[in-house]
A and B are shown apart, each in its own frame.
Chain A
Amino acid sequence: MASAKLLDRYDRTTRTKHWSMAILFILAGLSGLAFFHPSFFFLTGLFGGGSWTRILHPFLGTAAFAVFALIYFKLKNHNKFEPVDREWLAKSGEMLKGNKAGMPPVGRYNAGQKMVFWAMAIGLLVLLVTGITFWQPYFRGYFPIDVIRVAVVLHALSAVVVILSLITHIYATIWVKGTLRAMTRGNVTEAWAKHNHPLWHKEVTGGK
């Protein structure tokens, strides 16, 4: 077969933002997990010990949020839920069993991708807002103890939600072959687009 036709999916600016976000997010996640459960405390060794991990974590998290905000405004219009998403979600169990044939055709993003996007957006916002309330030593003093006690629970909960979203996000890339190059080289094959995002394929090729 002749070399496959390639369709642009992410420009270089978006790719740069994505990978900056990815690195900051993973560093913030590892430094946060170190304090979430004793079994992860060894991760503080990656950051220069417990105190350095405590110092760095909020800066890493805030930086990850800031870069995500840029991605958010670029992609939020592509992630609006539409009627087809409901049908896709209803049939997503079949897709997980490997029966992709019955899935309704989707556009640029399917409902699963949209859910990951919004879980990340809401989760990161909650992490930022709650995290500020107990950011030692800069902001903690401005918040009453009862607010901080609710904030620490929400912070942990949101952290679990965004990490689960990340696991889903990474696994989907491994699962659906040909996806990763969208974010590493910026384009996908036409066959990938037809197979996984037929409406988007129609949109960018004009139906050819």
Chain B
Amino acid sequence: MSSLQSLDVVARSATTLPPPQARRTVEVAKLIDVSTCIGCKACQVACMQWNDLRDDVGETHGTYDNPRDLSPKSWTVMRYSEVEQQENNLEWLIRKDGCMHCEDPGCLKACPSPGAIVKYSNGIVDFISENCVGCGNCVTGCPFNVPRISKVDNKAYKCSLCSDRVGVGLEPACVKACPTGAIQFGSKNDMLDYAETRITDLKERGFAQAAVYNPAGVGGTHVMYVLQHGDKPEMYHGLPKDPQISPMVSIWKGIAKPLGVFAMLGAIAASFIHYVRVGPIEAKEDDTSKDNA
């Protein structure tokens, strides 16, 4: 699902050579200011509408989270966390969850199917469904638990950051719909600058630990948060403090691949050379022309 051209691809799953990258576009980012989010879910509705997705009606579990989780048809979900750090000071922390569009995407690293996951030069990480084989490796690789595999078609789905809209100069649907301006979209540099003004404001209002969430462990993200409590991202429905691609995934999709191939091809080559240099073992009395099966 992409309207961007192959010129804009900077990384492609299961591909060993660099993709065409003569053109460089500006890196974009979506900035979600948790402190000005009112939890109206207009972003969820806009996401459904633009992407033409209608999830099944689920069931409540006593909170405002609806649907309860991300799904192949719900690419963004508001997470409502009720936190009481000090007595009689309830905070309602509402985080719009979805793909973070990592600069170093674990899903792309883990994907075995060439071109099923691409990263554009603007930073968007996109799933190209026609190339998806349904193995679930993207789920294994993702540090944010975002991709969902459909039980109907066994394809992986997640937020595309509206790559089709961004590709023609529009902002993502959720940004367009947000009534409070809590979701902003622009170049990554502009978003970082804007985040600084928000953080300054929050600090003046007593949130000394206010910070932007742009985790370095995954090379930064193209979806960032402004958090009132930047020192405790876990309070926001378990947002990881220092997310990174699991070392297991790094071994599996890093050193293991060339070493494994080298070992296997090396064993075949060594066997052949051994035969040529040393020759076979033959039982002398045998007529060997007959006993080769």
Give the interface of A toward B (CB within 8 A): 1, 4, 34-41, 44, 49-51, 53-54, 96-98, 100, 134, 136-137, 140, 145-146, 148-150, 152-153, 156-157, 159-160, 163-164, 167-168, 171, 174-178, 180-181, 184-185, 188-189, 191-192, 194-196
Contacts and interface: CB of A to CB of B under 8 A. Distances in A.
Contact of B278 (A96, A145, A159, A164): A96
B285 A191 contact: yes
B49 interface: no
Interface of B: 14-16, 112-114, 131, 133-137, 139-140, 145, 149, 151, 154, 246, 248-249, 251-252, 256-258, 260-261, 263-264, 267-268, 271, 274-275, 278-288, 291-293
Nearest to B145: A145
B283 A41 contact: no
Most chain-B Cβ atoms within 10 A of its Cβ — which of A134, A152, A156, A188?
A152
Contacts, number: 151
B271 A171 contact: yes
B16 A51 contact: no
Nearest to B264: A163
The majority secondary structure among interface residues of chain A is helix
Contacts of B131: 50
A51 B252 contact: no
Contacts of A145: 139-140, 145
B292 A177 contact: yes
Contacts of A176: 280-281
A136 B14 contact: no
Contact of A97 (B140, B278, B291): B278
List of 5 A-B pairs having minimum Cβ-Cβ separation, nearest first: A50-B133, A195-B283, A171-B271, A35-B112, A191-B283
Contact of A50 (B113, B274, B284): B113
A143 to B, nearest CB: 11
Contact of A164 (B257, B264, B281, B285): B264
Given A4-B285, A38-B16, A136-B134, A177 B264 contact: no
B24 to A, nearest CB: 25
B286 A177 contact: yes
A185 B268 contact: no
